[in-house]
Structure 1
Amino acid sequence: MRLDGGGVECEDVGVSYLLRVQLPDRPGSLGSLAVALGSVGADILSLDVIERGAGFAVDDLVVDVAPGALPDTLITAAEKLTDVRVDSIRPYAGILDTHRELELIDQVATAHDDRLQVLVDGAPRVLRVGWSTVVGMSDHGPAVIVGSSGAPESRADDMPWMPLEKPAVLDPTGAWVPQSWKDMDTTLAAAPLGSSGTVLVLGRPGGPDFRLSEIARLGYLAGIVATVLG
């Protein structure tokens, strides 16, 4: 408990983090991880399976910890387990639900105007990235049509990969990438919005890298939204 500015007692609010964890794909692995995280006061709020491979799984876990708890304790607790590796950890303030893509598609479909803005505003939450933009080609090169909050002010003068035919991971070290994006170790992905020539671009400052399953989800989402936009 703590006192607010008016002297009224109120509950401390926990802090949430998004962990991307690689762990053995065998019975009991997730339970062991939950116990390990619980030992440092973390509660798992949600879990998404991102990818499965030969003997391993990559999961995104949203965990809640007490105010003031250090995220390093989560990494240490998880990696004490055999063959468990934390790929990334970052603060998470998204809305927890299991139908993120469907809700965003519905929001785009029912918007009276600024449908592209609705798309880029919702995409970071749905696809768990830092920012998103929709880019098109003009007579002067690539131009940002709309961007989410948090989208970088620096713009790429050239995007040699356009026009884009299918969803793809973009090379974050390419000559076209603004230096400020590189300084933030931003991983990049994009998908065409139908045959309109416009592209949905995602940026994830600080990583982690996009997995093939995430690129597939991006492609499905972009394809359905393109149909909705007509």
Structure 2
Amino acid sequence: MRSVYLLRIALPDQPGGLGEVASALGKVGADIVAVDVVSRGADGTAIDDFVVELPLGGRADSLVSACLSVPGVRVIWLSRYAAGGTLRHDLEVVESMTEQPAEAERVLVRHAPVVFRADWAFLVCRDAGTGKAVVEESTPAAPDLPGDEAPWLPLERPRRLAVPAEWDNRGWRHITAAATPMGNPDRALVIGRSGGPEILDSELARLAHLAALTQTVRQALSQS
């Protein structure tokens, strides 16, 4: 049985850079399933995600060594990839939303962990009467909200979330999370990764864009 890993690297944004990394990974027996350019910086550095498979007996540290053998490459993150290497790109999610406009928000919640290589996602709102947080939709691995609280609501813009320290023993230990408003400041789509990597500005922008599209799709349905 082959093992699947998510590998995030920083490398010089120049022609041939990806090819050198791919060649180095191939030498240690890694099969590249997918590559995504996550961001490009003004300093000439690109951040890329690789989803790679190793054969039975393959060592994860060999992936790190392979990347570091390429000049200028830095390994940001390496972890097993629970989604099994099956990626859903943003446009595929948009297509699914337009095919099911009444379920657009649910579609995005369901696919957000794969699109953003996160462990879970949920849609939460603040009840106008009680002020408590109510989870409207969630993926199976999403943690509960302790005390039915969502301290980041109301949310005016997409941002990374600071997880309260007292939540550590409630399933939130070492969670890297981000959220974006969903329709109004009292509703938010939240995604989380266990341990990392950090959610980048480019990923926040994509999250906000897809959340906004759910509202556009729903409005178009109501006007049809």
Indicate the TM-score class for this superposition, using the shorter chain for normalisation: 0.7 to 0.9
Tell me if 1:171 matches 2:162: yes
Q: Paired residues, what number?
A: 214
Q: Which range is displaced more, 87-96 or 14-23? A: 87-96
- Could you tell me how far 1:120 is from its partner in structure 2? 1.6
Aligned mates of 1:213, 1:152 — CA distance in 2 = 25
1:47 aligns with one of 35, 38, 47: 35
Tell me if 1:146 matches 2:137: yes
Residue segments in structure 2 that go unaligned for 5+ positions in a row: 220-224
* Equivalent residues of 2:176, 2:196 under 8 A apart: yes
Instruction: Output aligned runs, 1:22-41, within 5 Å.
Output: 22-41=10-29
Aligned twin of 2:87: 96
Alpha-carbon spacing, 1:164–1:78, altered in 2? closer, same or farther (3 Å): same
Alpha-carbon spacing, 1:31–1:219, altered in 2? closer, same or farther (3 Å): same
* Equivalent residues of 1:156, 1:176 under 8 A apart: no
Structure 1 stretches of 4+ moved >6 Å: none
Larger helix share, 1 or 2: 2
* Equivalent residues of 2:6, 2:80 under 8 A apart: yes
* TM-score, length-scaled by structure 1: 0.83
* Equivalent residues of 2:154, 2:185 under 8 A apart: no
Deviation sequence 1:97-156 (CA, Å, 0-9, x none): 5xx222223323433865543322111111111100000002142121111021124546
Aligned twin of 2:222: none
Deviation sequence 1:186-223 (CA, Å, 0-9, x none): 11100111227311000011100011100000010000
Aligned mates of 1:227, 1:176 — CA distance in 2 = 37
* Equivalent residues of 2:176, 2:198 under 8 A apart: yes
- Could you tell me how far 1:159 is from its partner in structure 2? 2.5
* Equivalent residues of 1:156, 1:178 under 8 A apart: no
Aligned mates of 2:54, 2:147 — CA distance in 1 = 38
Aligned mates of 1:211, 1:112 — CA distance in 2 = 28
SS at match of 2:184: coil
Alpha-carbon spacing, 1:94–1:197, altered in 2? closer, same or farther (3 Å): farther
Aligned twin of 1:6: none
- Could you tell me how far 1:65 is from its partner in structure 2? 1.6
SS at match of 1:145: strand
* Equivalent residues of 2:144, 2:171 under 8 A apart: no
| Counterpart residue identity of residue 206, structure 1 | G
2:5 aligns with one of 6, 9, 17: 17
Aligned twin of 1:126: 115
Aligned twin of 1:211: 200
| Counterpart residue identity of residue 144, structure 1 | V
* Equivalent residues of 1:158, 1:176 under 8 A apart: no
- Using the aligned pairs only, state the percent identity: 39
Residue segments in structure 1 that go unaligned for 5+ positions in a row: 1-12
